Structure 1
Amino acid sequence: MEALPQTKRQMGVWAATAVVTGEAISLGIFLTPAGMARSLGSPALLAAVWCGMALLTLAGALCFTELAIRNPHDGGEYLYLRRGFGARVAFLYGWMAAIVMYPGVAAALSVGTVPYLQALLPVSAPIAKALPALILITLGALNYFGAGFNSGVMTALNWLKVPVLAALVGWALLSGHATMANVSPITARRAGSDPLIDAIAGATISAFFCFGGWWEAGKIAGEVRNPSRNLPVAFSGGVLIVTAIYLLLSFAFVAVVPMQQIQSNTAFVAVFGQALFGSAGSRVLSMCVVLCVFGGLSVLSMAVPRVTYALALGEAGGTKRGGLLPAFARLHPRSGTPANAVLLQTGMALLVLMLGAFDQILAYIIFSAVVFLALTVATLFRSITPVRRWWFPVAPIVFIAGSSLLAIMLLMHNPGSALLGAGVVLLGLPVRWLLTKRGEMPSPIAADSISP
């Protein structure tokens, strides 16, 4: 009998949608559009890249919605891959997500938010140095002691982003700071733009990274009430909200600051803030950045331990005996959270933080992450029960093709990092073998593969 994650269903549609938007709308929203605009040199091309990535993301969201409805349990991609391609492939994803990639993302976001906190508060150098660790520990504690309370904090932070960013766009457009002269001509490319093919490739990769995180709702599907109704709204609605915000903010950015004045991402944020709010600009923009980053971190702190929990439960076969993996398959007796998995995620993020290796981790692992996303969607073609949706098989084909193209771009752009990252992921195989040899895992169960 297949062991499936069993957690309390206490999240509604608002919380689930906040998970979809939370990680996507983070630090990158203030940095990536500037680099894309400078490279592309044309507002029309910038809008086209955003819309193209939105279509790809929506195709993926439709696929993940179906997977989450079919597997309404915590674990997300790990659970889908285990059922579609077997325990070994799923373990490699879980190894990458729980031990390598997401701790690096959490560490990078916690460090990235410190300069913006310093712009808001008088923080001494020693405290500023300790702030990233304090942020990670605080979020870990919130998630450890209660999914309900942490879900409320996460939902509030991520929904607060929407009116704040909408107000930012509204002020830019209605206050007279934005001018169509900075946008016109819409289709012409500005002097100093990158070569067209290179610019489109780089902007597409940046846009994909900016949208990244919309799939996290699948990781907490076991905690969503009425998943067959709420998850489709969360995935599709969340992607549409993210798309609208990115398009509006990008338009506001280039309408306020001419493309010719964009020299660097960080300098652009300062120029944009000063143009809108004068001397208070840095503080206003810093407040927006801190809100967005904290919302993204709250999603990570909630979603990623659910992967570790599902991996431990699946690989250990639901056994109660001792060992390393079964320890992460236990829920807290009072809060119902995967407490040990939360501790692992927080501990790994703190370790990466101390090593200062998060930038390298992200560069190495992103190629493998894109490959796993494509493999996850491909599991729809391996299900015993056929998919009967109006969008099938077009949506998965579009997403797999788009993800494959992105993987090729990444491989061509930096083959060394991509291959090294793939090697780090494959290290999970000997780790799994060692655990199996020690008797801490049973052989893969039959339910791990449901392909015909």
Structure 2
Amino acid sequence: MREPGSGKRPHEGLQPELGLGSATAIVIGEVIGIGIFLTPAGMAKSLGSPLWLMIVWLAMGAMALSGALCYGRLAAQFPYTGGGYVYLRETYGRMVAFLYGWKSLLVMDPGITAALAVGMASYVGSIIRLTPLGNKIVAIVTIFALAAANIVGVRVGAGVLRWLTLLKLGLLALIVVWGFGQQLGDWSNFLPLIERRSSVPYFEALASSMVAGFFSFGGWWDVNKIAGEVRNPTRTLPRAMALGVITATLVYLLISAVFIYLVPLDRVTSSETFAAQVGEAMFGQVGGQVFSGIVIISVLGNLAALMLNAPRVYYAMARDGLFLPAAATLHSRFGTPARTIALQAGLASLLVVFGSFNQIVAYFIFVTVLFIALTAASVFLLPSNQPSMSRVGRFNFWFAPLLFLALVGLLLILLISQNPKQALLGTGVTMIGVPVYHLLFRRREVSRG
């Protein structure tokens, strides 16, 4: 089978070695990170109601699941390495796909990698008292260690991620069982269940909580980037995304519930102090250090998933003639896109050294969500008589994209209304890729097999 628009399979040479377990672990690893310890506090304080907190989590879980059904439909149609890049290329053309890859490589992927690594290192520093330089060293060493694992082989990288995901879920389950089982909290913290105990206006609270909830579920779409290395991707990827999103939704609900059980809403002051309060309620004076250890494991899972997924986009771009030709070469021994993995690790490490990435990444959140919306909308541009239609179902073909796009459209309005400067500047920098594409790549022929 040859891929439309490229002349050859972009994952030629990449071996399909991953199954449903690894793919699901990638989804969970991307979604559940440090946000699970920080986001519930802000949402709970803003909403001021345990019931509304759970409703928002369910709504955002439903939104992520509907988006996963869209991406599952696209994975069934185009089971190739590159994920969203491939879908944009096949439905909107090479330039739109290039802009997506340009934005990802220029800012988002190395920026998020750096942010996660530095955040993890700060928690390491809270345990063993690192200097600022020591924090940066830990962050850079972690980035290159995970990059090395992924260069050695996709099975090695996925194996590390699987164990980190299992450990993460086990520790989170321990928090739930220990918190409720040892009766360390008070059920009266849930009362009143519906009545709001917050001075934040209702719609403002709901809007900010929806934005926070959406980004807490972010990353479920990245598993499609390794489609060329997944066995039977047309079946495996949709299932993995659905299982991963459902698991994440249950985890967010349970963790939020145990947090409220342990610490009443009127004692919530900030996200960081809230996590410390929960840790102290569960484990006493050493609770902060215990929670720091759990956060470290959780963020390591995030980083491992990101280092596995993101470089595949640059590899796919290079095979299409939209990036440096050398990036299309696989490692002669390990058969992995080693150069693109090393590139991401190097760029992220530079950002760690210079320390200016959080604000930069914030400028590109709007355009990133916009690309997600474009990708989901592309299902309507696919022929409805394809064999994949029978696998996904006509109901999912219409209902899931419409629900997802309606919610994402609302999110885009909220993002641009909250900070129009960030949204416009991020979009403007992304659009600089248009002349870059025309000058460097438009005339380059796609390689032929």
TM-score relative to the length of structure 2: 0.93
Residue 167 in 1 paired to residue 169 in 2?
no
Measure how far apart 1:69 and its partner are: 2.0
Q: In 1, distance between residues paired with 2:182 and 2:414?
A: 40
Q: Residue 320 of structure 1 corresponds to which residue in structure 2?
A: none
Give per-residue Cα distances to partners, 1:205-257, cap 9 Å, x unaligned. Answer: 00001000111110111111122332222111100000000000001111110
- Identify the residue that residue 254 of structure 2 maps to in structure 1: 248
8 Å CA contact retained: 1:313, 1:326: yes
**Structure 1 counterpart of 2:407:** 402
Task: Identify if the C-alpha distance between structure 1 residues 129 and 346 changes in structure 2 by more than 3 Å, giving closer, same or farther.
Answer: closer
Tell me if 1:278 matches 2:281: no
How far residue 347 of structure 1 moved from its aligned partner, in angstroms, is: 1.5
For residue 413 of structure 1, the aligned residue among 404, 414, 418 is: 418
Separation in 1, partners of 2:166, 2:235? 20
Equivalent residue, structure 2, for 1:71: 78
Give the Cα–Cα distance (whole angstroms) in 2 for the partners of residues 103 and 168 of structure 1: 32
CA-to-partner distance for each residue in 1:394-443, whole Å, 9 max, x for gaps?
10011111111101100000000010110111111122122137x6x227
Aligned AA for 2:247? I
Residue 211 of structure 2 aligns to which amino acid in structure 1? I
Map 1:193-232; keep pairs closer than 5 Å: 193-232=199-238
Corresponding residue for residue 275 of structure 2: 269
Find the aligned partners of 2:135 and 2:401 in 1 and give their Cα distance. 45
Same amino acid, percent of matched pairs: 43
Provide the C-alpha distance between the structure 2 equivalents of 1:220 and 1:174, rounded to a whole number of angstroms: 40
| Partner residue, 2:3 | none
Unaligned stretches of 5+ residues in structure 1: 317-323, 446-452
Query: CA deviation digits over 1:278-327, x for unaligned, max 9?
Result: 012012111110011000000010100001111111235xxxxxxx6211
Tell me what 2:305 maps to. 299
**Alignment partner of 1:119 is 2:117:** no
User: Runs of 4+ in structure 1 displaced over 3 angstroms?
Assistant: 119-126, 384-388
Alignment RMSD: 1.7
Task: Give a deviation string over 1:136-190, Cα, whole Å, max 9, x none.
Answer: 1111111122222111101111122112101111111111112211111110111
Partner of 2:371: 372
Q: Provide closer, same or farther for how the CA distance between residues 124 and 371 of structure 1 changes in structure 2, counting only shifts above 3 A.
A: closer
Q: Distance in 1 between matches of 2:53 and 2:289?
A: 27
- Secondary structure of the 2:328 match is coil
Which residue is 1:102 aligned to?
109
Q: Which residue of 2 aligns with 1:424?
A: 429
Give the alignment of 1:43-192 within 5 angstroms. 43-121=50-128, 123=130, 126-190=133-197, 192=198
State the distance in 1 between where 2:121 and 2:309 align.
23
What is residue 350 of structure 1 aligned with on the other side? 349
Q: What's the counterpart of residue 317 of structure 2?
A: 311
CA distance in 1, matches of 2:361, 2:351: 11
Match of 1:449 in 2: none
Pick from 247, 256, 265 the counterpart of residue 259 of structure 1.
265
Aligned residues: 435
1:319 matched residue in structure 2:
none
Gaps spanning 5+ residues in structure 2: where?
1-5
Amino acid at match of 1:260: D
TM-score, structure 1 as length reference: 0.93
Q: In the aligned structure 2, how far is the partner of 1:101 from the partner of 1:26? A: 17
2:412 is matched by which residue type in structure 1? A
Tell me, in whole angstroms, the C-alpha distance in 1 between the residues paired with 2:138 and 2:172.
25
Compute the displacement of 1:268 (Å).
0.7
CA contact (8 A) 2:7 2:447 kept: no
Contact kept in structure 2, 1:40 and 1:193, CA below 8 Å:
no
Contact 1:87 / 1:444 at 8 angstroms: preserved in 2? no
Deviates most, 399-408 or 224-233:
224-233
